[in-house]
Structures are given as C-alpha cells and as structure tokens.
Amino acid sequence: QKEVEQDPGPLSVPEGAIVSLNCTYSNSAFQYFMWYRQYSRKGPELLMYTYSSGNKEDGRFTAQVDKSSKYISLFIRDSQPSDSATYLCAMSWVDSSYKLIFGSGTRLLVRP
C-alpha cells in the first residue's frame, strides 16, 4: 500500500464547474500538506500549503485537511480551461528535511 493514494483520473468537467480532488494517506506523522499543479511538460509548482488540520482558501481554491480521517481535498470553484493540468498532493512531517511524499497525481481537463 502506498503512503499516499490519489485517483489518477482523468477528470473531465465543463467550464464553471466545482472540482473536488482528493488524497488519502496512511502515515499519521504527516503534518504538512500541499497541493502542486503541473502543466504538461513542466515542473510542479506549489498551489496550496496547509499545516496540520483545517481549511485554507486562496481565491478560487480551497484546501481541506482532515487528519482524523487521513484525508485531504482541494476544491476549485468556477473552474477555467486554464486549470487543466495534473494536480499532485504532497505531504511531509516535522524534521523531514523537507522531503515530500507525493501522490501519483490527478489529471484534470476543464472543457470550454
């Protein structure tokens, strides 16, 4: 069993839809939770960062962490074709030298 599980998709939605992306994990030591966005043939770039449990909102993006269920989510409101990319969840723990454990990524396609 992988430490971090993520549905690979692809997930295809119409423009303007609300998108929900999710990851589950098994290591209760994880304290830092991140979402990276990766466009085709590019390197990943940080989209959202959350420490421990709770919600964080940034514009159209909301990240949620439920440590009791070992489940994290990324919501995208009013999705745009420019949101079409692969979304990778990533996690880390205290004193990890910032080593991240990544999910396999969910490919999202937003149709105009």
| Minimum separation from the CB atom of position 28 to other proteins (A) | 19
Q: Are 81 and 111 in contact (CB under 8 A)?
A: yes
CB under 8 A: which stretch of 12-20, 40-48, 58-66, 70-78 binds other proteins? Answer: 40-48
Measured from the CB atom, is 17 or 32 closer to other proteins? 32
Measured from the CB atom, is 40 or 69 closer to other proteins? 40
SS (H, E, C) the chain: CCCEEECCCCEEEECCCCEEEEEEECCCCCCEEEEEEECCCCCCEEEEEEECCEEEEECCEEEEEECCCCEEEEEECCCCHHHCEEEEEEEECCCCCCCCEECCCEEEEEEC
46-85 residues near other proteins, rule: CB under 8 A: 46, 49, 51
88-107 residues near other proteins, rule: CB under 8 A: 88, 90, 92, 96-100, 102-105
Residues that bind other proteins (CB under 8 A): 4, 6, 8, 32, 34, 41-46, 49, 51, 88, 90, 92, 96-100, 102-105
